[in-house]
Amino acid sequence: MRVVLLRHARVLVDWKKRYSSSGYDDENANYDRAPVEPLPPIDMAIRKVYVSTLPRSAATAAFLVGDKDIEVTSLLDEVPIRSFKDSERHLPTWLWNVMATLQWHAGSSRQRETRKETQRKIDAFLDMIEERGEDCIVVGHGIHFYDMMKRMKARGYGGKIKKYMRNGEFREFVVEARAGKTTGEKR
For residue 101, give every residue at least 6 positions away whose Cβ sits within 8 Å of its Cβ, in sequence order, or none.
81, 143
Instruction: Examine residue 187 and state whether it is found in any structural domain, yes or no.
Output: no
* Residue 37 within any structural domain of the chain: yes
Top-confidence residue, 177 or 179: 177
In a domain? residue 141: yes
- In the structure, what pLDDT confidence band is assigned to residue 185 with cuts at 50, 70 and 90? very low
* 166 domain residue, yes or no: yes
Could you report the per-residue pLDDT of 85-127, keeping only the tens digit for each?
999 999 999 999 999 999 999 999 999 999 999 999 999 999 9
d(CA 163, CA 149): 9
| CATH number reported for the structural domain that contains residue 132 in this entry | 3.40.50.1240
More confident residue, 60 or 127: 127
* Distance of alpha carbon 33 from alpha carbon 25, whole angstroms: 13
Q: Which of 13, 18, 55 shows the shortest CA–CA distance to 30?
A: 13
Structural domain count of the chain: 1
Cα(169)–Cα(150) distance, rounded to whole angstroms? 17
Full domain range(s) for residue 114: 2-182
Per-residue pLDDT reduced to its tens digit, 20-33: 999 999 999 999 99
Residue 83 lies in a domain: yes
The dihedrals phi and psi of 177, each to the nearest 5 degrees, come to -115, 145
